[in-house]
Structure 1
């Protein structure tokens, strides 16, 4: 069944807005695990505007589920951070400097040689590799020849179209998922998934292993509490 990995970037954003350590990111991550999260995701950026590099070390020391570190592998400091901490999974995202949030997947054709060069650095350290891609069959096919273990489908387009025509919105993702199965890639998904669109996506995407959810989940927790919110998301995935 599909695992829920909770992205805690927004908790770090709140902490950083006042300095100090309130809310305590490690305590929040452990609470997420205690309340049922099956993984913790962080996406450190060079300006450390939310997740700080030290946070990754602190989290790795205590996380009992899977730690997933997302980020731009074109930054040498990111590569060094991941190799030093050896998370269960690294998700490679083609961000540019100063980008507010991830907004596109890899062009796995144009970046084929680069990805073939960088991915083995992580795999040789025993880290599962996932790369962020758009729901384009050609990009999925090309991802399979980079050496990655998984892809993460960028789901913003699905979330944007869900309320007007959910069948149309999900169609490219179903096709991409089928291609991923055919070429032997594991499948993750993330970005703008929430309590409204999550179940439909999970029910219709074959072979979906993991969903990473942060902004919507942490926002919902402001109204419903962290424990209740995580369990609501798990119920959408058929876990409770």
Structure 2
């Protein structure tokens, strides 16, 4: 069955818009775990737009006490600055179960593309090794829709990564237009290529209750989905526990259909 990791970045965005400590990121993460989420994801950025270094430590303590996965996302090439010690330094400090490397920059509103593996593989290789030495499972953000970057997916395995995370923003856009068929086939093909070289497959970005089931029904053996923006938006209407349970029900239905 696919695991659900809830990304709580948007809770931090809301908190930071007013300063102070409300809403509390750890309290929100605890509510998600109480409702059955399998893990927590955060993406600390050098600009501290949402999650801060102190949040990373607090959430590591929570997930460690609960015995659930903590997935830390970030750009390993971004240099340290005031308030941000660097992605590898954060991983060394809290030892997340999974480190997901993402090639985002300060100018990007959100992570909107995967690595160019043919270009970036050798730069990533020593960083992957360092993270694995820390005991982290390593996942690399990957495209399925752009052949300029997806053609080198096999390099992720060659440099020692454990998984890729498929950037699903283009699928969500196509789904919204009712044109998801071709896009789903592209994602399924990349997933099969990843599996063929021993990589596990995660997925995330703009997945929602509306489009998640269709994605998992076609893309084979997705181990984990990381969902934040849509889940937090839906929770404004239905509450965090109910929204997390709704996602878990989708995962259960898909798993039941695949096992049947």
Native 8 Å contact 1:105 1:134 kept in 2: yes
Give the whole-Å Cα distance in 1 for the aligned partners of 2:134 and 2:40: 20
Runs of 4+ that moved beyond 4 A: none
Deviations 1:155-198 (A, max 9, x none): 01111111422221201000001101100001000001001110
Cα displacement (A) at 1:97: 2.2
Structure-2 residue corresponding to 1:106: 115
Question: Which of 73, 81, 86 lines up with 2:90 in the alignment?
Answer: 81
Structure-2 residue corresponding to 1:39: 39
From the two aligned structures, give the one with the greater helix fraction.
2
Structure-1 residue corresponding to 2:73: 70
Question: Which of 167, 176, 182 lines up with 1:154 in the alignment?
Answer: 167
Structure-1 residue corresponding to 2:100: 91
Gaps of 5+ in 2: 80-85
Question: Which of 200, 214, 224 lines up with 2:214 in the alignment?
Answer: 200
Give the whole-Å Cα distance in 1 for the aligned partners of 2:95 and 2:175: 36
Gaps of 5+ in 1: none
Deviations 1:198-223 (A, max 9, x none): 00111111121000000000000001
Give the whole-Å Cα distance in 1 for the aligned partners of 2:181 and 2:27: 39
1:102-181 equivalence runs, <5 A = 102-135=111-144, 136=147, 137-163=150-176, 164-181=178-195
1:238 is paired with a residue of what secondary structure?
helix
Give the whole-Å Cα distance in 2 for the aligned partners of 1:169 and 1:181: 19
1:209 is paired with a residue of what secondary structure?
strand
Please report the TM-score for the alignment, with normalisation by the length of structure 1: 0.97
Aligned residues: 240
Cα displacement (A) at 1:24: 1.0
1:11-26 equivalence runs, <5 A = 11-26=11-26
When the two chains are superposed, the root-mean-square deviation of aligned CA atoms in Å is 1.3
